[in-house]
Chains A and B, each alone.
Chain A
């Protein structure tokens, strides 16, 4: 029974093929070649466009501990104000836009793709999704509540600095001390030195371990010497900002340095 059916199908297919061949032969050759040419050309164009897109990475990542002010900074960059306030983010905020301060400039400006990754420790894996397309990373630190969170901040920073993609591509990192408008905020030099000290301690305990979910594939700094940020393969700079008072000029400078206007 089945064999008969297959046989019938085969005959039908044969007939269809013959009909198609006759149809194709009836079309004037010029039109046929033109049609094929158009199809090939569009495929070629798509491939070229894709290649071009990959070359110019224009993504800046905003990351840091929960509560450091990343979402406020994101909306400052986009709209110039943080509207009615923010709460702990559960999902990343993404946007491709021209920075708010540059909207008054004339001429064509390259938009920036900014991603605000949630800082909550349960959502850390989300950072890895965006690292592959990053042109620069901004690590936001709360300058007021710095000392109680220095260990968690340094661990997160250490994890980022030792990720394979960051080291290989030498992605530049900006250490942004946020909330400097408050009186009790620490200076950026103090924060830098404290983080260097903590990461130094981390180096000692982390190189002794290799956990099963290995993300620390590289070690930082030179053995035997105290760790300084200048020893990193990728460039690390420090700056200050205040999300609430729209004082984000240094942040914008960093963005424009790595994503050309």
Chain B
């Protein structure tokens, strides 16, 4: 049974709610839906789950883009109602017939709603009955071919009937997972081999064969993962032993004379005492404080010339589309938007945006434009591009304040040090950018302290020690092979003792799939509860950005012993100077995690730290799209 059905305008006024289903909703599901889904450009998704203390709802929605209306249905998650999508589209049609922008109360809609609801429920009942008949046929076929196959077929058909809700699919997978754990790998293989044979028998079985193939892949993944885990654990132990025993012999590549000295570090004693006084590094103003001058004129000229050159190519298509654009087309359909959106998606992907993200963005833009009436003298491509630009600006605009100095001052007033933890995979530039952030903070008269919690990588502690010496700030380190969580805890205590305002904690790089390392990381975060968890990601990453961030967030959430786990609060984008205009990684990371980009590292010296300039990124992402759009004319 539906809990609630709302119709409201995009401006926020509720036009109609169903009066019979008058149960007050727990929490505020509608506002949360708007804030975390529709405004986050995820309106292409099928549904949204909302959990409040005492209730868990699923919300489904549809838009009427021409009139600017939103229709939302709320129901309990445990009930898998099948008629909701149907009902929403019928209501949309009926309501848009009686909608008037001046009217604000629609009490006559109640009767129409009751009618539509009964119709939709009846239709859903019919569909359920016909599906059950189909299920019986499948079962009969299965019984002929033996037990294991039967199990997989039932799983397959279960998936089909509950096709709309992901939960049933999850159950199907679990039932298949159990025989895996018992070691009956061969049986499962045989079972899946037989299933495709039955495909020919029944057209509906096609889905079952697909799910069979999917699980085969999952099976292989499981095996390889298990093998990987044992490997990494084994490798860790012997690596740390020969650290100090073997001295490195110089490798001779050609006939050049042998170099005698490899080690260029200053002759400083082991515990960091300064024999030679080092001048504090002063390289001028950090780029964070410099304004960026955006030259917009030259870019627009380039676009114009490209436009003109491509107009001549297709005269016939141009004429008909010009005619359409002058007359103004009635109601954009999805098929009209498709070529323009596909061109945009390809364009985004050439700018190094992850494929999944580009897809979701295009779906969201399509959802917001479908059914809209084209104003006269506009082309479809320009409408789509304008909508995409707006969506991109909206995603990249930070949701919360990224003013770190203000947070530092606030923590200072409370008498606690402000703790920042740098996390990320291997080799993205955590230690380098940590030094850059320390330099920037120093320029604003903040007392910084570094904590060397990377106790794994050889040279990590020495690297930080060198930076600390150059910047003349204290560093807390305990050497190698210590528990990073405890080192961090002691560092924070030391900071509150010696009056440091900020503690920058460096951690070891780790792959997002590595379970034991992620566990140690979540322990570090849980024990020390830092003020800012900064994910360091490089701008060169492609589709892996999505995997890295989502897995990091997931592991931090799952493996944390507290009920309210800390997730990633901000992103630090590094190696930005190596990509010219393929800036898509920024978009992928912000979209998948919802965290704002707080810093951008654009070089390897202390001053190379900037803030993210939203407008220039959006411009870079959408440039060169004009030529592509010209070719795919509507």
The residue that B409 contacts in the complex, of A87, A92, A201, with Cβ under 8 A, is A201
B36 to nearest A CB, angstroms? Answer: 11
Cβ of A122 within 8 Å of any chain B Cβ, yes or no, is yes
Q: Report Cα–Cα, A84/B403, bound state, in Å.
A: 38
Q: Report Cα–Cα, A71/B613, bound state, in Å.
A: 31
Cβ of B38 within 8 Å of any chain A Cβ, yes or no, is yes
Q: Report Cα–Cα, A67/B32, bound state, in Å.
A: 12
Contact assessment for A121 and B11 in the assembled complex, using a CB-CB cutoff below 8 Å: no
Q: Report Cα–Cα, A212/B600, bound state, in Å.
A: 12
Q: From residue 209 to 224 of chain A, which have CB atoms closer than 8 A to chain B? A: 209-214
Contact assessment for A205 and B406 in the assembled complex, using a CB-CB cutoff below 8 Å: yes
A209 to nearest B CB, angstroms? Answer: 6
Cβ of B39 within 8 Å of any chain A Cβ, yes or no, is yes
Q: How many residues in B have their beta carbons less than 8 Å from beta carbons of A?
A: 46
Q: Report Cα–Cα, A151/B401, bound state, in Å.
A: 9
Cβ of B34 within 8 Å of any chain A Cβ, yes or no, is yes
Cβ of A5 within 8 Å of any chain B Cβ, yes or no, is no
Contact assessment for B610 and A212 in the assembled complex, using a CB-CB cutoff below 8 Å: yes
Cβ of A109 within 8 Å of any chain B Cβ, yes or no, is no
The residue that B291 contacts in the complex, of A92, A205, A214, with Cβ under 8 A, is A214
**A84-B105, A201-B409, A212-B292 are contacts. A93–B14 as well, Cβ < 8 Å?**
no
Q: Report Cα–Cα, A123/B40, bound state, in Å.
A: 11
Q: Which chain A residue has the least Cβ–Cβ distance from B600?
A: A212
Q: Among B123-131, B251-259, B391-399, which stretch is in contact with chain A?
A: B391-399
Cβ of B30 within 8 Å of any chain A Cβ, yes or no, is yes
Q: Report Cα–Cα, A177/B410, bound state, in Å.
A: 25
Q: Report Cα–Cα, A67/B35, bound state, in Å.
A: 11
Query: Chain A residues near B174 (CB, 8 Å)?
Result: none
Interface size, A (range): 35 or more
Interface of A, secondary structure class, is loop
User: B282-308: contact bitstring with A at CB < 8 Å (1 yes, 0 no)?
Assistant: 000000111110000000000000000
Q: Report Cα–Cα, A84/B612, bound state, in Å.
A: 41
Q: Report Cα–Cα, A158/B288, bound state, in Å.
A: 21
Cβ of B68 within 8 Å of any chain A Cβ, yes or no, is yes
Contact assessment for B39 and A91 in the assembled complex, using a CB-CB cutoff below 8 Å: no
Cβ of A208 within 8 Å of any chain B Cβ, yes or no, is yes
Cβ of A120 within 8 Å of any chain B Cβ, yes or no, is yes
The residue that B613 contacts in the complex, of A151, A209, A212, with Cβ under 8 A, is A212
Cβ of B218 within 8 Å of any chain A Cβ, yes or no, is no
Cβ of B210 within 8 Å of any chain A Cβ, yes or no, is no
Query: Chain B residues near A92 (CB, 8 Å)?
Result: 11
Query: Chain A residues near B34 (CB, 8 Å)?
Result: 87-88, 90
Contact assessment for A122 and B397 in the assembled complex, using a CB-CB cutoff below 8 Å: yes
Q: Which chain B residue has the least Cβ–Cβ distance from A90?
A: B10
Query: Chain A residues near B14 (CB, 8 Å)?
Result: 83-87
User: A219-238: contact bitstring with B at CB < 8 Å (1 yes, 0 no)?
Assistant: 00000000000000000000
Cβ of B497 within 8 Å of any chain A Cβ, yes or no, is no
Q: Report Cα–Cα, A202/B11, bound state, in Å.
A: 31
Q: From residue 380 to 439 of chain B, which have CB atoms closer than 8 A to chain A? A: 393-395, 397-401, 403, 405-406, 409-410
Q: Report Cα–Cα, A83/B397, bound state, in Å.
A: 33
User: A67-95: contact bitstring with B at CB < 8 Å (1 yes, 0 no)?
Assistant: 10001000100010001111111111100
Q: Report Cα–Cα, A7/B527, bound state, in Å.
A: 87
Q: From residue 341 to 362 of chain B, which have CB atoms closer than 8 A to chain A? A: none
Cβ of A142 within 8 Å of any chain B Cβ, yes or no, is no
**A122-B394, A212-B610 are contacts. A87–B15 as well, Cβ < 8 Å?**
no
Q: From residue 591 to 634 of chain B, which have CB atoms closer than 8 A to chain A? A: 610-615
Cβ of A116 within 8 Å of any chain B Cβ, yes or no, is yes
Query: Chain A residues near B401 (CB, 8 Å)?
Result: 151-152, 155
**A208-B444, A212-B610, A212-B613 are contacts. A86–B13 as well, Cβ < 8 Å?**
yes
Contact assessment for A213 and B12 in the assembled complex, using a CB-CB cutoff below 8 Å: no
Contact assessment for B291 and A212 in the assembled complex, using a CB-CB cutoff below 8 Å: yes
Query: Chain B residues near A87 (CB, 8 Å)?
Result: 6, 8, 12, 14, 30-31, 34
Q: Which chain B residue has the least Cβ–Cβ distance from A156?
A: B401
Cβ of A204 within 8 Å of any chain B Cβ, yes or no, is yes
With a 10 A CB-CB cut-off, give which of A67, A83, A213 has the most chain B CB atoms.
Answer: A213
Query: Chain A residues near B405 (CB, 8 Å)?
Result: 205, 208-209
**A79-B104, A91-B68, A205-B405 are contacts. A84–B35 as well, Cβ < 8 Å?**
no
Cβ of B16 within 8 Å of any chain A Cβ, yes or no, is yes
The residue that A205 contacts in the complex, of B289, B400, B403, with Cβ under 8 A, is B403
A35 to nearest B CB, angstroms? Answer: 27
A121 to nearest B CB, angstroms? Answer: 5
Q: From residue 25 to 41 of chain A, which have CB atoms closer than 8 A to chain B? A: none
Query: Chain B residues near A122 (CB, 8 Å)?
Result: 39-40, 394-395, 397, 399
Contact assessment for A84 and B292 in the assembled complex, using a CB-CB cutoff below 8 Å: no
Query: Chain A residues near B13 (CB, 8 Å)?
Result: 71, 75, 83, 86, 93
Contact assessment for A125 and B397 in the assembled complex, using a CB-CB cutoff below 8 Å: yes
Q: Report Cα–Cα, A104/B394, bound state, in Å.
A: 43
**A87-B31, A209-B405 are contacts. A71–B104 as well, Cβ < 8 Å?**
no
B142 to nearest A CB, angstroms? Answer: 49
Q: Report Cα–Cα, A204/B13, bound state, in Å.
A: 40
Cβ of B17 within 8 Å of any chain A Cβ, yes or no, is yes
Query: Chain A residues near B70 (CB, 8 Å)?
Result: 90
Contact assessment for B11 and A93 in the assembled complex, using a CB-CB cutoff below 8 Å: yes
Cβ of A168 within 8 Å of any chain B Cβ, yes or no, is no
B510 to nearest A CB, angstroms? Answer: 31
The residue that B403 contacts in the complex, of A118, A209, A213, with Cβ under 8 A, is A209
Sampled A-B contacts (16; CB under 8 Å): A66-B35, A87-B34, A88-B31, A89-B10, A90-B10, A91-B10, A92-B11, A93-B13, A121-B400, A155-B401, A205-B409, A209-B403, A209-B405, A210-B291, A211-B611, A212-B291
5 closest A-B pairs by CB: A89-B12, A93-B11, A91-B10, A212-B613, A71-B12
